[in-house]
Amino acid sequence: MPGAKVSQDEAVRIVRERYPYAEYCIVSNWRWIDLEVTPAQLSELTRTNRKPAVIYADTVIYDSSRRWDVDDFVRTSFLHKFEEGFIFKTLNSIYILIGNGVRKRATLEAIGRIF
């Protein structure tokens, strides 16, 4: 699955232009994980404008709020919107997906064990 097809600097420029006050995190070595959820869980996610997908990234390149250090790993909260083919937006942050990643399926229980 391809991530940003622009340079890291260009990706940051796009995010800052589109979302000037948003926190953002640039990541690489990432996995898009589609979550297997029950109908009730899907209904709750839909009601709160979220989708059953998260990103798990092995490498934080930069975090605008310094929540994570360079080279840390990160798991996002649920997807809110996906834009431009590399902007994974949650309800509280934006993740810039640099380079190619992989797409997988997992249960909520498996994802919960990551942290």
For 36-92, the pLDDT digits (tens) are 999 999 999 999 999 999 999 999 999 999 999 999 999 999 999 999 999 999 999
Instruction: Indicate the pTM of the whole model.
Output: 0.90
Residue 5: per-residue pLDDT:
85
- String of b and e for 62-100 (b: at least 16 CB within 10 Å)? ebeeeebeeeeebebebbbebeeebbbbbeebbbbbbbe
Residue 113 pLDDT: 65
Tell me what pLDDT residue 108 has.
77
Q: Is the pLDDT of residue 114 over 70?
A: no
Residue 26 contacts residue 11 (beta carbons within 8 Å) = yes
Q: Which pLDDT does position 47 carry in this prediction?
A: 97
Closest CA to 3 of 91, 62, 88: 88
CA–CA dist 99, 24 (Å, integer): 17
